[in-house]
Amino acid sequence: MGRLERSFVIVNSLGLHARPAAMVVQASNRFRCEIQFEKDGLQINAKSIMGVLTLAAARGASVLVICEGDDAEQAMAAIGKVFESGFGER
């Protein structure tokens, strides 16, 4: 059972609003492992749309992604692609 941590910077102009939040929640829910996002000391379940929206991550914010479980590597890769794509808004 692995644990991975990686930081991502929000690059799209509107930040982690409803549509990007839905994208990361959908990506997260494809995996069995536990996935947490952390920003400014607040840690949330990445499989919860309300949790992700609670982060209020604006452009330039750094979000720590923590994946823990059997498929943590695959989950981190999938979530990383979503963040690095700028949620399709760049």
User: Among residues 4, 6, 17, 51, which one is catalytic?
Assistant: 17
**pLDDT tens per residue, range 16-29:** 999 999 999 999 99
Residue 17 falls in the annotated catalytic set: yes
Q: Which domains does the chain possess? A: 2-88 (3.30.1340.10)
Contacts 24+ apart (CB under 8 A), 80-88: 80/6, 80/8, 81/27, 82/20, 82/23, 82/24, 82/27, 83/8, 83/10, 83/11, 83/24, 84/8, 84/11, 86/11, 86/12, 87/12, 87/16, 87/19, 87/20, 87/23, 88/23
pLDDT band at 89 (very low <50, low <70, confident <90, very high): confident
Residue 15 is predicted with a pLDDT of: 92
**pLDDT tens per residue, range 46-79:** 999 999 999 999 999 999 999 999 999 999 999 9
Residue 2 is predicted with a pLDDT of: 86
